[in-house]
Structure 1
Amino acid sequence: MDLLLSSFIRALRNADVRISTAETLDALSTVELVGYADRSLLKSSLSLVLPKTVPEKAIFDATFDQFFAYRKATPIAPDASSSQSEPADFGQQGGQGSGEGGSGAPQNQGQSTSTRDEASAAETSAGEMAGAQSALGQLLMRGNQIEIDIAINAAGARVNVQQIEVFTQKGLYAWRILDAMGQQALQQEIDQLNGNAEVPSRRLGQELGRRRAWLREQVRDYVERQFLLNADVTGKRLRGDLLRNMRIGRIDATHHKAVQELVRRMARRLVSAYSRRRKVFRRGQLHVPRTLRRNMKYDDAIFDLHWRSQKVDRPKVFAICDVSGSVASYAGFMLMFLYSLDEVLPKVRSFAFSSDLGEVSELFGQHDAEEAIALTLKQYGGGSTDYAQAFSDLRRLCLDDIDKRSTVIVLGDARNNNADARGDILKEVYDRCRRLIWLNPEPRSMWNTGDSEMRFLAPYCHQVEECGTPAQLERVVSRLLRATR
């Protein structure tokens, strides 16, 4: 397969653009037709076969511009002064020999080589030059830019440069690429040539030193491009994985925006997985009695088949959230999650309480999710928890609306300040609904300790789950959606 196209597709996948094997083959066929000469034509052609959604097209455009960016060509053999301006990290890592963990030759080695070059500059400025013996030396002396770029990319693939994750790894990967290209053999050859008594050999040593410095600049630029294509997105993914499994109550306020975006992405994945419409006609189990009745007019010849079909009602969801100080942040993220699933769960009624319980569904209908959550916490948050009062209000407000199509989700730590939580009212809800799920943001080891009422309330729930991280919340909601298919 085309190595350049393969690297580009890998960069797209790393940026969360979903690309299947069939789409990869389509892209390969596209490149065979249009080639790489016309950058605009290549971009427009690949955009028809790789990205599928509007967000993916935006990512594709940015990644394409970055991956196929034109670079200004630099002279392959710069002045001798360029050997004095090598980057410090390469000068330390690119010398003769390499120790453990990427340590290279002492820094003064490059300086002494430079001094010898300057001392013999007049003698070796022009004239006959010996031939390079090392593979990398021969490659540099041929001076073919395309051939050198191919060698850099091949070495990058061997050292897995696409796995670069943080900024401080750039020097390490640059040294690994140079080492894979044969820098040690080249350094030994340069040392031998510079110590040779023959002028053509010293002249070659000086020229190889200049071209090696140029190569290091090319490798550094290549690693920086790979960092921009891979590490930035990988770093975001690592942070996302960390936040996804961190307890919401411990997440710093500075990361709340990132967690909100994470919750929205999880909701979009669930919508994509569970929003497919069911086909109920011309499939399933044959309805024999109806088929026979409808075909009596054909003298018992079966022409018109009828299938058993069952109307699937989407569930009514009642979300009851404790927004007292200890669990307010959890309630906000759960409400955001549920309302992000409006395509799959269009009938969500939300209630919030500390002591008195009130319905907040209209707030989410009139405002965006973030503003509605802020208003909910302002109106109902801050008080001491009273589950008895909240359950009494729930019975008064909506008990008659709960039926066997209803799923009731209660989010709370079940801590009731050593008062009666009125589990008898929760039992009434349990008897009327299809499913009652209690989500407790505390670790299971904390349940039934202190003033927790979980031991008395859990028997009146179909399901009791720990729900302290975004990942746990996603699993619970995914099971809910799977059960309603």
Structure 2
Amino acid sequence: MRSTGHGLPGHLVDFVGALRRHGVSVGPGETVDAARVLAVLDMVHREHVREGLAAALLRRSGQREVFDTLFELYFPAALGAGVSEVDVPRVEDAEDGPVDVDALRDVLADLLRAGDNAALAELARAAVDALGSSGAAGTGVRGASAQPGWSAYQALRVLSPETLLAQILADLREGADDDSEFADEVRRREIRDRIAAFRKMVTDEVRRRSAEVRGRDQVARSAVPTQTEQVEFLSAHAEQLTRLRRTVHPLARRLASRLAVRRRHAKRGELDMRRTLRRSMSTGGVPMRPAYRARRPGRPELVVLCDVSGSVAGFSHFTLLLVQALREQFSKVRVFAFVERADEVTHLFDPGAELSGVMQRVLREADVVAFDGHSDYGGSFGSFAEHWGDAIGPKSSLLVLGDARTNYRDPNLTVLKRLVGQARHAHWLNPEPRRQWGSGDSAALRYADVLPMHECRTAAQLADVVEALLPV
């Protein structure tokens, strides 16, 4: 869906299309609601418009960052350099002279101390225009270029707002009534939050100015962050993994509600032909009242074997936290970690256990490394079968987590086949893209011949797989 005109309604359609292209599901009903919001609100009050559109268009957690980034592109705070009441101090008070960086930092410190967000936003626009344009030197001298461009890194490097923290805190302590350590820590965190907000203002301003030159669509492709549930486990950095872990419980609640709906729709068991034929005797052989077998829903036992080596540890950690949040769906859950050999770590994931830093505890306390610390799937399957083989029975579901990269060691398919044969169900969750299965030292395709293997690169994929595997 794309509109090339038609005023504000067409602009809203373009904005909705951009949200859809970046994974935010927006239907016709939400679009109509957003149009009604714009008809009621005054466009001069930009933050009111932002919150109104967010309330109308967003239906799930984790979408706000994408929404805010696109909102800044489609409903910018200004055009071009904009109009700012904050004057950039220059050396020798010349309008076209070099920027007086020290004086500008003093202005920034005053605004951070006061917490004036409106003035900070104006300063961000002025700083980008004066310090972040193409050709601006480290001293703050603005240069010219054939095609204008802007750099948030350049402007923030010159201003270095983080280095103002100690100065601002010292000033605040002088006039404070409470000089306790607690009050000092509160002030420290508040100033850090203001500095982070200013850095975001500068980044947003650079993105807006770049979009005017290069076009919104091109900037959106590279600047809009990936939704948390679409971040790939193997390429996620620490901050993304932290955000992913915060989505565990909302995701578990959503899966549990879906499971409840499935159970309501599956109250009856399979058709009981014998009882149905007996009932039909009273209606001349016509089965007017079908009889169904009584369902005996049982909560199976779950046995999890997870690779905790290298980058796979992030995927394993998230999946184990999800399993822990859904453990009421199972009668019993046992967790085994492995690198070169397996060891049980169920106690680290028991209800009430402290889950912060749990993967570090697994690597520190579990006996999973024998020689060089590289994954040995075959050796791990062998040690698990030797010491805990009886953990898998006819009521057990086996779940293997890992990328199946064996470092060219024996994959030990024989033992895995025996373990899968003992289990009621068995599945393998692999965080690598399917196209990479079987490449290099990957034994994924060989393992996929033994048990079903599912691609789980993102939290969204993992949720779909887990939902399909949950017992009804």
TM-score by length of 2: 0.49
Give the number of the structure whose residues are more often helix, by fraction.
1
Larger Rg: 1
Give me the TM-score of the superposition, normalised by structure 1.
0.48
